[in-house]
Structure 1
């Protein structure tokens, strides 16, 4: 049985006894977070909004729960959970709530002062500085951020009674730099901070400045007449009908009100409305004027039209032109995330579709995630969006991190949220990356843990969130050169191979997440029958870790309308929304039949791999190697293969 490590502690806990006889150190950090400087002791008349994160129940059973509603042999397949069921399943036990409340009452915080959060996992109360310091056997200080003078309250360690510690995950504000508490300040301090902010130019976030990937532009087409729409030429240019032919799915004929498809974009990436119409005019005339409906603007997001170039518009134009066309007339929701100053992260999006995630396992990480209100000039000054946006039944994201960019705790916390979304019936798809076995920007991992140029070698650098076992990771294929797909499809010959044009399909083995049961046979078969010619110095070859991608779809030579012209683009950025469109069409058929959405895909796909087109040619080089090789069955280049719509539809309609 796959054992979830989602509750691994973020920080080492020193359980040695402190000078306070009944207390043990719960969390400790070594110095302030990056960019912060300790300034002074916190004034005693400040009021601290204390939050005690209660140890949640059953996170170690997450895989069991999601397998129960996602495995094709389960009698509960498709019986997805409500938000209330999910909250209650992972809520702290009555014993935990009672133990912590009793401790607080004995310290002078009676029930009238202590509130249990709606998500059932936090106790909230206000305390003066002396009360909080006595409660946690600590001392609070004011820290200041060097970039803008932003103050923050934190301590260096805190302690809990030994009998209470097993019931608590985190307490804030303490050692974490995620809650921006506003202490009482002198007028001089206030003027200093305001001056620092006024003189600080707004940080304009540019596409690609975070650790992610954008599609690669091959070449611009000289005119519309250069677009090749004939299916015989899909090896040169991919248009919507090429994808329909490759994967045998028809044009959609109707929309179902229960069905929904979401595309996630991060400001300042933005689609250009006139580009959508230019694309529709050429490939789906009935859609001219069609737009994402609705467009969910999260944390001050805007669909900016000031900066226009491939870097600013390429990703959004690509995702929406193909998603809208392939599932039409089914509406597509655009989740536009983050303001123009602070930007956004995956956690920003997850906060917005699940309010309980804002504080889950200690909340977001300000070294990786933006904090709102944004104090920089021009930033979003409203409160962080915690909930209020509905999750669609399929969510595709064409961005990603290197797994090595983030801490294991950060990744495990986020992965738990993908598990909960899967329980609720949402399919989560992420691109696997465009640099083969290397990470974003062709970076590999040096022996000392730093990043080096992949041309110099180094250890393989897998992507995240794809390595989360509750995500479906999508790699990239291409039509083989000089191939007529109609001839190949008619003869039963596979017309695609792993993508080796401009980009290479991301794939490899996690250094954080264990091997899930649903994938074990496929991964072990690959390692046994086609052992890669590398040792542990190149990748995690233990055979006990999660491997990616799970599936793939075409990612080369996509024709898109971009800033009033047409061009060819490449990347798993194209593969993920294409695969998501196929699943959305299948969901529509299931809803029409009175069934639920398919939800988490992986257990069903690995148990029925014949419903995918096996890709057996190509590789994904990187880190001065040829990477892995595509082979019969699953491989860490193209996964189980590309979609075969009739087989997928037959399978999913046969399930409850």
Structure 2
């Protein structure tokens, strides 16, 4: 067996044309990036050098400033070019690296003995499979295994180097210093609806009405919130799609998540019977070996609790946006790694793999929802900035990216410490929620009025559940965008010195808007239950805006695309302002929800007919 494994490893290495010779370079090596391992990770022994990893090298892009200028123009509702989105080929041309950059990097790789590498269509990313011990030589570093407090193990370094002459030609290389987990933002899974009743009673969340019941109170029950409630609350009820043939909505899955068709069919039969065909017709794509599944969960997957998030996404979308076609993306790669030396590892690099694949497709959905994220500080800044630019490229093509704000408020309980070697108490913003080129969604609960979602940490049915509070914050990586200045500065001014020094008031604030995120009715493994989190509010919001796009396309107009400039300039008028609640987390009460924009519920929740009108489409 050992001889066979050695033979397989040798074959794999030969396939990559890697020559184990000393690294030669035109200039001395110097450290390119340093990033501390977060508190949740424990350093173990040196990593197994024979393990194969998929190395991703991000070259300096040729004219990203030009792309961002295009993006700002086509996304500004007052600009003459509003809605004139770019094609995939036009974007590739803008970001393609200079000949000098390509030549310098190719020479370095060639002299190092690296062959068999591939480029994406824009040629700004190189992918190559290499043994870890060779990567150590290539980047003049050492990899160790690190163990997360949840048991996951990854191989990473805290610094890496490049020849000095390449520092201006290469932005990022991963996996190197990234310690993120790509966790789904689904705060709670409850097996049966009955189990939530005690919690609902304690939290006094009943949607009681006094006198004549309203349309909302007739159909909305906080212990199990259904598609009929959402359609009534956000006023999509009665809307019939008119342009589904040229519209679509997608959602991204990571960590081996995959939507289960029989569960979706069961859900729709009960809650949206006219849409039941969606369970069979949604399209699925596997990226980097991501799983696909057309049948029920396997026994092993059910035992591991797999696909709660993916099921929630497809059911929330199908329940609100029918007949809009649905697309599911399942991206492979997750820790802990499989200790097989012949397996090429690509663990915990989800957003980069997915968005680079997406940008190479010539046709993509007009709306994409993603319910994953992690603390911003666990993501190296170079990686976060580069991936955020990739999201900008998606927006320039006319696609709106919705990301969840997170479920730990300001950063969780007893976890709010910096990852800069100083271990300073500070609020922890999340990524990709903090990227200015995505639209970030927070969570609400209750009806008439809604308020920011919150449930205190406590024991329920003998199981301890951590704090659940809608994600909130200001980025430490990304500055406040111009379109947000008025709204965010007004909020910061209104709270004065509250939590001064614990957050960055000049950073990009999030979320941008919100939707219901507590006790969604859904089906998993054939069982009806409920689930909570910004993982729920995000696909719900995406589904509502897919209908806005439908109205636009039916009116002969373009899709909304990169949403935030429009949202902050005029779209906010089509949202119900939320004025009750606070962000919680980091062992404090947190930022207060206020009138106008706030970093807990954004501008509020959707009023569909108003959004359609403000977008410039015909109101049905």
Q: TM-score, normalised by structure 1?
A: 0.69
Matched, 1:445 2:416: yes
Aligned pairs (5 A) from 1:66-215: 66-93=71-98, 118-121=121-124, 157-160=161-164, 165=166, 168-169=169-170, 211-215=183-187
- Contact between 1:231 and 1:241, CA under 8 Å: does it hold in 2? no
Q: Using a 3 Å threshold, how does the CA distance of structure 1 residues 395 and 411 change in structure 2: closer, same or farther?
A: same
Q: Measure how far apart 1:500 and its partner are.
A: 2.7
How far apart are the structure 1 equivalents of 2:537 and 2:34? 43
Q: Measure how far apart 1:212 and its partner are.
A: 4.0
Q: Measure how far apart 1:568 and its partner are.
A: 2.8
- Contact between 2:25 and 2:163, CA under 8 Å: does it hold in 1? no
Name 2:237's counterpart in structure 1. 250
Q: Using a 3 Å threshold, how does the CA distance of structure 1 residues 61 and 547 change in structure 2: closer, same or farther?
A: farther
- Contact between 2:77 and 2:566, CA under 8 Å: does it hold in 1? yes
Q: Measure how far apart 1:23 and its partner are.
A: 3.5
Matched, 1:269 2:257: yes
Q: Measure how far apart 1:119 and its partner are.
A: 2.1
Q: Measure how far apart 1:573 and its partner are.
A: 1.1
Name 1:507's counterpart in structure 2. 472
Q: Using a 3 Å threshold, how does the CA distance of structure 1 residues 451 and 589 change in structure 2: closer, same or farther?
A: farther
How far apart are the structure 1 equivalents of 2:291 and 2:110? 45
Which of 246, 256, 267 is 1:279 aligned to? Answer: 267
Q: Which moved more, 1:53-62 or 1:319-328?
A: 53-62
Which of 45, 52, 57 is 2:62 aligned to? Answer: 57
Matched, 1:434 2:437: no
Matched, 1:324 2:318: yes
Matched, 1:470 2:437: yes
How far apart are the structure 2 equivalents of 1:106 and 1:295? 38
Q: Using a 3 Å threshold, how does the CA distance of structure 1 residues 589 and 310 change in structure 2: closer, same or farther?
A: farther
Q: Measure how far apart 1:142 and its partner are.
A: 10
Matched, 1:335 2:329: yes
Long gaps (5+) in structure 2: 1-23, 38-42, 129-133, 148-153, 196-206, 208-214, 338-345, 457-467
Tell me the SS of whatever aligns to 1:232: helix
Q: Using a 3 Å threshold, how does the CA distance of structure 1 residues 261 and 22 change in structure 2: closer, same or farther?
A: closer
Tell me the SS of whatever aligns to 1:257: helix
Matched, 1:302 2:292: yes
Tell me the SS of whatever aligns to 1:428: strand
- Contact between 1:323 and 1:581, CA under 8 Å: does it hold in 2? yes
Q: Using a 3 Å threshold, how does the CA distance of structure 1 residues 311 and 210 change in structure 2: closer, same or farther?
A: farther
Name 1:16's counterpart in structure 2. none
Which of 494, 510, 515 is 1:529 aligned to? Answer: 494
Tell me the SS of whatever aligns to 2:609: helix
- Contact between 1:83 and 1:424, CA under 8 Å: does it hold in 2? yes
Long gaps (5+) in structure 1: 1-19, 43-48, 126-131, 179-207, 358-386, 484-494
How far apart are the structure 1 equivalents of 2:155 and 2:474? 41
1:307-365 CA-to-partner distances (Å, cap 9, x unmatched) read: 326942432222211211211122211112226886877844543453498xxxxxxxx
- Contact between 2:140 and 2:162, CA under 8 Å: does it hold in 1? no
- Contact between 2:417 and 2:427, CA under 8 Å: does it hold in 1? no
Tell me the SS of whatever aligns to 1:552: strand
Name 1:620's counterpart in structure 2. 583
- Contact between 2:67 and 2:91, CA under 8 Å: does it hold in 1? no
Q: Using a 3 Å threshold, how does the CA distance of structure 1 residues 610 and 26 change in structure 2: closer, same or farther?
A: same
Q: Measure how far apart 1:447 and its partner are.
A: 6.0
Query: Alignment length, in residue pairs?
Result: 533
Aligned pairs (5 A) from 1:259-408: 259-291=247-279, 293-298=282-287, 299-303=289-293, 304-306=297-299, 307-308=301-302, 311-338=305-332, 347-348=349-350, 350-352=352-354, 354-355=356-357, 387=360, 391-408=364-381
Q: Using a 3 Å threshold, how does the CA distance of structure 1 residues 616 and 305 change in structure 2: closer, same or farther?
A: same
Q: Using a 3 Å threshold, how does the CA distance of structure 1 residues 529 and 348 change in structure 2: closer, same or farther?
A: closer
Tell me the SS of whatever aligns to 2:306: helix
- Contact between 1:302 and 1:339, CA under 8 Å: does it hold in 2? no
- Contact between 2:312 and 2:536, CA under 8 Å: does it hold in 1? yes
Q: TM-score, normalised by structure 2?
A: 0.73
Bigger Rg over Cα: 1
Which of 470, 492, 496 is 2:450 aligned to? Answer: 496
- Contact between 1:37 and 1:146, CA under 8 Å: does it hold in 2? no
Q: Measure how far apart 1:80 and its partner are.
A: 0.8
Q: Measure how far apart 1:562 and its partner are.
A: 3.0
- Contact between 2:185 and 2:534, CA under 8 Å: does it hold in 1? no
1:603-656 CA-to-partner distances (Å, cap 9, x unmatched) read: 00101121211111111211121111111110011001111111110111269x
How far apart are the structure 1 equivalents of 2:545 and 2:317? 11
How far apart are the structure 1 equivalents of 2:117 and 2:263? 53
Matched, 1:425 2:398: yes
Q: Using a 3 Å threshold, how does the CA distance of structure 1 residues 238 and 389 change in structure 2: closer, same or farther?
A: farther
Name 1:365's counterpart in structure 2. none
Matched, 1:539 2:540: no
How far apart are the structure 2 equivalents of 1:448 and 1:165? 27
1:400-432 CA-to-partner distances (Å, cap 9, x unmatched) read: 111122211121121111111111111111111
How far apart are the structure 2 equivalents of 1:69 and 1:389? 19
How far apart are the structure 1 equivalents of 2:275 and 2:35? 56
Matched, 1:604 2:566: yes
Tell me the SS of whatever aligns to 1:249: coil
How far apart are the structure 2 equivalents of 1:507 and 1:145? 32
Q: Using a 3 Å threshold, how does the CA distance of structure 1 residues 404 and 123 change in structure 2: closer, same or farther?
A: closer
- Contact between 2:172 and 2:386, CA under 8 Å: does it hold in 1? no
- Contact between 2:439 and 2:563, CA under 8 Å: does it hold in 1? yes
- Contact between 1:437 and 1:507, CA under 8 Å: does it hold in 2? yes
Q: Measure how far apart 1:59 and its partner are.
A: 2.8
How far apart are the structure 2 equivalents of 1:517 and 1:576? 24
Q: State the superposition RMSD in angstroms.
A: 4.8
Q: Using a 3 Å threshold, how does the CA distance of structure 1 residues 67 and 564 change in structure 2: closer, same or farther?
A: same
How far apart are the structure 1 equivalents of 2:232 and 2:267? 19
Matched, 1:411 2:384: yes
